[in-house]
Amino acid sequence: MSGAPSSRLSAPSALRNRGPILDVLRQVLPAEGLVLEIASGSGEHVVHFARHLPHLVFQPTDPSPEARASVAVHVEAERLANVRAPLALDAGAADWPVGRVDAVACINMIHISPWTSTLGLMAGAGRRLSAGGPLVLYGPYVRDGAETAASNLAFDASLKARDPAWGLRRLEDVVAEAARHGLALDRIVEMPANNLTVVFRKAG
């Protein structure tokens, strides 16, 4: 799949956070295998990760045709051989157009999608991940017993104003849903700008 340069999207937040996320991915991704990215967006994350992790193969996905076109342009511009053509995939769908994968990454989706997308994400990752494979999530959350930053509260309000089905999720609810699908919490990493990287592992 290819597209014109005008199809290339850019997300300033992706350029800011891709370095810190890569630092975590280096610690948790397998030595080799296939990494499925859910909600690839502009494609700036996947090309950055693929460039720095050449031992892995990446499968970007997004339900948006515009996003998939942007991913294709970024991949073509970077001349990356370890990124597959982007697939149309809705995290909330009952079935995913992929087979077994060694890792799943999902960045900044859970708070800007309905809760049903998170339910589908956990079900899909539970079905597709190899034993021991990680599910890596990045974004802002609300946590029991932890004060929510004022900036995150304002962000949550703005999200709900755009769509009442959106908003910051309670991390404990996400962890509980993951557990229902055989995904055990592995670690929580504090990230810049009051975000978290949350890593789960598929039970063996």
Is residue 175 within a helix (H) or strand (E), and if so which, with residue range?
helix 171-180
Task: With beta carbons less than 8 A apart as the criterion, state whether 119 and 177 touch.
Answer: yes
Per-residue pLDDT tens digits of the chain, which is 204 residues long = 444 555 877 777 787 899 999 999 999 999 999 999 999 999 999 999 999 999 999 999 999 999 999 999 999 999 999 999 999 999 999 999 999 999 999 999 999 999 999 999 999 999 999 999 999 999 999 999 999 999 999 999 999 999 999 999 999 999 999 999 999 999 999 999 999 999 999 998
**Any alpha helices (H) in 29-170, and if so which ranges?**
44-52, 65-78, 115-128, 150-162
Q: Distance of alpha carbon 66 from its chain centroid, rounded?
A: 18
What distance, in Å, lies between the first and last C-alpha atoms of the chain? Answer: 36
Total structural domains within the chain:
1
Q: Distance of alpha carbon 6 from its chain centroid, rounded?
A: 24
Q: What pLDDT score does 10 carry?
A: 74
Q: What is the pLDDT of residues 96-155, one digit of tens each?
A: 999 999 999 999 999 999 999 999 999 999 999 999 999 999 999 999 999 999 999 999
Q: What pLDDT score does 16 carry?
A: 87
Confirm whether pTM is higher than 0.85: yes
Burial of 74 (0-12, 13-18, 19+ CB in 10 A): buried
Distances in whole angstroms, Cα of residue 174 to Cα of each of 71, 185, 198, 204: 28, 10, 10, 20
Q: What pLDDT score does 1 carry?
A: 40
Q: What is the CATH number of the domain that holds 30?
A: 3.40.50.150
Task: With beta carbons less than 8 A apart as the criterion, state whether 105 and 81 touch.
Answer: no
Query: For residue 74, which phi and psi values (nearest 5 degrees)?
Result: -60, -45
Domain assignment of residue 137, given as a range: 5-202
